[in-house]
């Protein structure tokens, strides 16, 4: 079985229709299971942020059958200036932001897992930039924050869950592959991102007040949704490729 972690349902918009024999997960896990690329898969929704990711990963690893491969996927923010919306990024090393704001090593991805994933993608004509990936405690909402993170740690992209999942897996775990698709580029601003807490929660009243004060931010929403569709399509193709190539 391949265990796949993702944060939010919309990230897998292109995957759900590709799952055969789809059924909801039980035992308090959010997500679904079925067949993808000839493999049994369990897809677990973690929610946003380090705390929720660790809790969901811990529970899934306790309850579900021992997986042959674990995948952390979903959208990510681009830190490297050459990455575009929809591009795939595969981590070879995971960093995590500490509570003090420092960036610390969290996990090295096994070379064998990277090679397996790369070959699986190449067989489907897919490419992924490989390099460090940062797991942050909050959304990096503007170009200055992204530029600073890139300069400090050299991570190609940033998410809010992957390193937390790797830490929860610990030593001697099944192979981990972290592959994500870019939704916002290094030069993109994310309107209202500062309203979200570490677990991604946003007060509807605060959101409404923000857009009333910043009506121009509404004009950016269509572009964000377009980028989400691009990223979701890339994620679906990558996951199907990984599952099809898992035994190769």
Contact 12, 6 (CB under 8 A): yes
Average pLDDT, the chain: 89
Q: Which of 137, 64, 175, 153 is nearest to 103 (CA)?
A: 153
Domain ranges of the chain: 2-244
Tens digit of pLDDT for each residue in 16-39? 889 999 999 988 899 999 999 999
Residue 220: the pLDDT is 65
Residue 131: the pLDDT is 97
Low-confidence ranges of the chain (pLDDT < 50): none
Residue 171: the pLDDT is 73
Residue 200: the pLDDT is 55
Residue 222: the pLDDT is 73
What is the fold of 2-244? Rossmann fold (3.40.50)
Tens digit of pLDDT for each residue in 216-239? 666 566 777 898 999 999 999 999
SS (H, E, C) the chain: CEEEEECCHHHHCCCHHHCEEEEECCCCCCEEEEEECCEEEEEEECCCCHHHHHHHHHHHHHHCCCCCEEEECCEEEECCCCCCCCCEEEEEEEEEECCCCCEEEEEECCHHHHHHHHHHHHHCCCCEEEEEEEECCCCCCCHHHHHHHHHHHCCCEEECCHHHHHHHHCCCCCCEEEEEEEEECCCCCCCCHHHCCCCCCCCHHHHHHHHHHCHHHHHHHHHHHHHHHHHHHHHHHHHHHHHHCCCC
Residue 211: the pLDDT is 57
Report phi then psi at 162, rounded to 5: -60, -50
């Amino acid at each position: 079985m391949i265990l796949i972690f993702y944060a939010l349902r919309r990230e897998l918009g292109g995957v759900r229709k590709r799952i055969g024999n789809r059924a909801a997960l039980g035992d308090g896990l959010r997500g679904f299971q079925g067949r993808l690329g000839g493999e049994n898969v369990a897809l677990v929704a973690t929610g946003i942020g380090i705390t929720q990711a660790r809790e969901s990963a811990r529970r899934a690893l306790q309850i579900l059958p021992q997986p042959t491969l674990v995948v952390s996927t979903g959208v990510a923010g681009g830190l490297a200036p050459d990455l575009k919306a929809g591009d795939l990024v595969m981590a070879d090393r995971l960093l995590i932001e500490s509570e003090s704001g420092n960036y610390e090593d969290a996990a090295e991805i096994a070379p064998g897992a990277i090679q397996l994933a790369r070959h699986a993608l190449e067989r489907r004509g897919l490419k992924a930039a490989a390099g460090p990936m940062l797991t942050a405690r909050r959304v990096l909402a503007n170009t200055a924050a992204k530029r600073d993170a890139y300069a400090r740690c050299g991570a190609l992209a940033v998410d809010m869950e992957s390193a937390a999942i790797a830490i929860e897996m610990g030593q001697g775990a099944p192979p981990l592959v972290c592959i994500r698709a870019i939704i916002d580029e290094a030069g993109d601003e994310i309107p209202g991102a500062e309203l979200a807490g570490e677990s991604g929660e946003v007060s509807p009243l605060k959101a409404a007040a923000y857009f009333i004060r910043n009506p121009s931010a509404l004009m950016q929403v269509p572009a964000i949704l377009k980028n989400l569709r691009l990223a979701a399509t890339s994620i679906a193709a990558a996951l199907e490729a990984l599952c099809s190539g898992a035994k190769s």
